[in-house]
Amino acid sequence: MSLHVNPVLQKASLAVWRTWRSWKLSLHTSTVHASFGPGHWERSEEHSSISTDKPPHTPVMLKEVLHYLNVQPGQVVLDMTFGGGGHTKAIMNMVPEVTVLALDRDPTAISLAQQLDKEHSGRVKPILGRFSEVEALLSNMNVQPGSIDAVLLDAGCSSMQMDQPERGFSLSKDGPLDMRMDGERYLDMPCAADVVNTLDQQALASILTAYGEERHARKIASAIVEARRVNPITRTQQLASIVAGALPAAVAYARKDRLHRPAHVATKTFQALRILVNDELNELHKGLLAAQVALRSGGRLCVITFHSLEDRLVKRFLRGDEMSNLDHYHFSPRKQGPRRAKLEEEGDGGMVHWLPLSKKVIAPEKDSIKDNPRGRSAKLRVALRK
């Protein structure tokens, strides 16, 4: 997709966000969650089953992250996406005299951080919350702005979340259509089933286009609306079959991932719903802003993303593009580039807060993809806080 403004996407995205906001508002005024829309359905009560036999998540681009974070004894690191703790564990093993503030919005990840804290005599400080809450959470802990030495943000979902069918992210295993990274923390937060059973066809198509970059969004949205007239859509496999049924077999067979391996035809639909349910792009922007406030001058930031929407946001943030009107972040680099250059010429260096540590975006090495195929689409951007 082009880096320049796509007016259709911009319009669709705005429409989605208006619908979403008014929907959220109406949700906040209702007392019971998930009892609205065309059909009433119960949320599933399936429970989590993390296996303790294998590591819950294999960290992506570990060697590169350790290199660029360059953590030294006595430093304080903020891991904004603790997940299965893979990156944090590696940091602690390399430099035991470090303190890691371990954030995650998923209570399951925080339980693992608490366990790790015990193993490292209080050097891991678990923090349950979202990127958008980081500034307040750090302030409550008396962590001063500009005092952190290194920040890691490894966006998206962990394997722990993806592999547990009951979390509703999985395309291959059946489970309730949930996808909330926060688990049951916010009972009024809509889950993926709420989205597919409630939003109108146009809004659904806009979501699939904007967040899934799905070319067949309209066909899929129409099939979803047809299917839910008969029965509410409550299961991951149910949605996956509806999407598969909406597209000609030739399209389904032609779908490939970035390594040109066959991909499920509903992958983009699932991605779009996940981004919407968890407000991932706004959260990412708020996370980057929080890192900017938290890091000391000379502190290091590593950001790993897994799809182009996220990577574009990070790239533009680091180069200081105007992002205040993030409804969404569709703005023209053509306009912003010269404007920023002009401001820099005029001496307003405050616009750009980052020095890139690598000229180009960093991709995983081929060998590491073989060992950890989930990391195949990862992109790492690294920068120094000015």
Ligand X SMILES: C[S@@+](CC[C@H](N)C(=O)[O-])C[C@H]1O[C@@H](n2cnc3c(N)ncnc32)[C@H](O)[C@@H]1O
**Residue 156 touching ligand X (CB under 6 A):** yes
Range in contact with ligand X (rule: CB under 6 A) among 8-16, 24-32, 78-86, 332-340: 78-86
Long-range contacts (CB closer than 8 Å, 24 or more residues apart) made by 112-116: 112/56, 112/82, 112/84, 112/85, 113/82, 113/85, 113/88, 116/85, 116/88, 116/89, 116/92
Is 168 in contact with 176 (CB distance < 8 Å)?
Answer: yes
Q: Does 310 bind ligand X (CB under 6 A)?
A: no
Span of 119-127, 151-159, 262-270, 331-339 interacting with ligand X by CB under 6 A? 151-159
Binding-residue total with ligand X (CB under 6 A): 21
For residues 101 and 79, the answer to whether their CB atoms sit within 8 Å is yes
Residue 84 CB, nearest approach to ligand X (Å) = 4
Question: Is position 86 an interface residue for ligand X (rule: CB under 6 A)?
Answer: yes
Does residue 364 belong to the site contacting ligand X (CB under 6 A)?
no
Q: How far is the CB of 30 from ligand X (least distance, A)?
A: 25
Q: How far is the CB of 187 from ligand X (least distance, A)?
A: 18
Decide if residue 81 touches ligand X (CB under 6 A). Answer: yes
Query: Which tokens belong to 54?
Result: 């294998």
User: How far, in Å, CA of 201 to CA of 169, rounded?
Assistant: 22
Segment 99 to 118, residues that bind ligand X, using CB under 6 A: 103-106, 109
Q: Which stretch binds ligand X (CB under 6 A): 44-52, 76-84, 221-229, 312-320?
A: 76-84
Q: What residue has token string 């294998």?
A: 54
The Cα–Cα gap between 81 and 60 comes to 12
- In the complex with ligand X, the residue whose CB is nearer, 308 or 336, is 308
Stretch that binds ligand X, among 35-43, 156-164, 192-200, 348-356 (CB under 6 A): 156-164
Lookup result for tokens 């904004």: 80
DSSP string, 225-287: HHHHHHS---BHHHHHHHHHHHS-HHHHHH-B-TTS-B--TTHHHHHHHHHHHTTHHHHHHHH
Q: Kindly state whether residue 57 participates in binding ligand X, applying the rule CB under 6 A.
A: yes
Tell me if 126 contacts ligand X by CB under 6 A: no
Say if residues 24 and 31 touch (Cβ distance below 8 Å).
no
Out of 20, 92, 127, 130, name the contact with ligand X by CB under 6 A.
Answer: 130
Structural element, H or E, at residue 73:
none
Compute how many other C-beta atoms are within 10 angstroms of the C-beta atom of residue 324: 7
Identify residues 174-193 at the interface with ligand X (CB under 6 A).
181
Stretch in the footprint of ligand X (CB under 6 A) among 77-85, 135-143, 231-239, 241-249: 77-85
* Residues at the interface with ligand X (CB under 6 A): 57, 59, 81, 83-87, 103-106, 109, 130-131, 154, 156-158, 181, 283
